[in-house]
Structure formats: structure tokens, C-alpha cells
Amino acid sequence: MHKRSHRLAAAALLLLSAVSAQACEIWRDKDLGIWRGNCKLKDFQVSQSFIANFQPRLLLKWPDLHIRKFKFFVVGASVDIEADVENIGLGNAAASTLVVDANIGNPLTGMQQGSPMQFTVQVPALPASTSQRVSVATVNVPNMNQDWDLILMGVIDPPTMAQPVRGALTESDETNNVTTHTCRWYGPTPDTAVEPCN
């Protein structure tokens, strides 16, 4: 679209260059970000107005929340889960909500162990280009005799009944609010095919 509008601008200016300077008035409309022209072509018995090029000038500074990564701290059978939430947008973000679904998987059977867990965390307001680490929860593996997988899915500013598409905040990008991660709590004889939680 930009190339086409640039070609339109060039063609219009070339056309006008063949006409006397007194025949046409060309000016830049700074408020709308466009070139305008008004020509009275007596030789051609025609009056012509045109818009040569459009350049959007409206830039909305919206926030853009994203979960950069999960962090884990293992003590015995316990795994502390933290999340780094960042605002990569141009605008400041109000306080928001982070929801994390956690499951423990048994790598020996490929099955889920126990019931899924869900944690809701409040994230403070984040100015543009800043981040905040928040504590999510502490979970315990079923026993210390084998490996266990911790499978997480986090959603920052999740959809609500009132805002089923975008969540409570209006962001410049609504497609990067979900982050998934899997790590492994290593038992006595670990299978290192999955990265460790610690």
C-alpha cells in the first residue's frame, strides 16, 4: 500500500511539473499527514484537485503485556514458581491479572498425575518497557523416587465475561498473552531429555 501511494505521489508531481507553477498549488497538510494539490489548468480547460500521498500520523500508545519467562526454585520436593511479566508496548499498563494453570506429569507413563491446579496472581501497574517478577505458587511433586514434569500455561490479562476477546486491558497486541513451559524435577536417576526446573 505504501509503495502504491509513493508511486501515486511521484506520478502526480511529475504531471504537475509540466504545468506552470502558477497553475497549481501544492501543500502539506500536517494535521492529516498528506500532500494536497489544487490545480486550475486553463490550457486544458479543467480544474483538478488531488491527494498525492497519505501518511498516517495517529499513533496510539497502548501497552502490550507478555510473560517473558517462568522461574523455578527447587527445595527438596517443593518447586517455587515465579513469572517475569513485561510490558513491551508504548503505553503504560494498569494493574492486571495473571492466571497460571499447572499440571504435574509422570514421564514414565506419559499421564497426568493428580488434579490440575490453577493460580491467580495480581500484577502491579507496569510502565512502558518495564517488567516485574511475581510469585505464582509453590507445588510439590508426588514423591522423590523418580522424575516429574511440571507443565505450565500462563495467561496475562485473560479474557473475562465482560471482555471475552481481549481481557480487561486494551493492548497493541492481544496474541502474545499466553506462554507455556515444561520443566522436569529430577529424581535419583534423571532423564535429561527435558530441561530441569532448577
Tell me the pTM: 0.71
pLDDT above 50 (res 182): yes
- Burial of 143-163, coded b for 16+ CB within 10 Å and e otherwise, reads eeebbbbbebbbbbbbeeeee
% of the chain at pLDDT higher than 90: 65
Higher pLDDT, 84 or 45: 84
CA distance 188 to 164: 45
Q: What confidence tier does 93 reach under pLDDT thresholds 50, 70, 90?
A: very high
**Which cell goes with 31?**
494535521
* Pairing relationship of beta strands 96-106 and 178-185 according to DSSP bridges: unpaired
> Mean per-residue pLDDT for 32-46?
60
Give the CATH number of domain 65-185.
2.60.40.10
Query: pLDDT confidence of 107, banded at 50, 70, 90?
Result: very high
Per-residue pLDDT of 48-68, as tens digits, reads 555 555 555 556 799 999 999
Domain boundaries for CATH 2.60.40.10 within the chain: 65-185
Residue with cell 506462554: 179
| Average pLDDT value for residue range 59-79 | 94
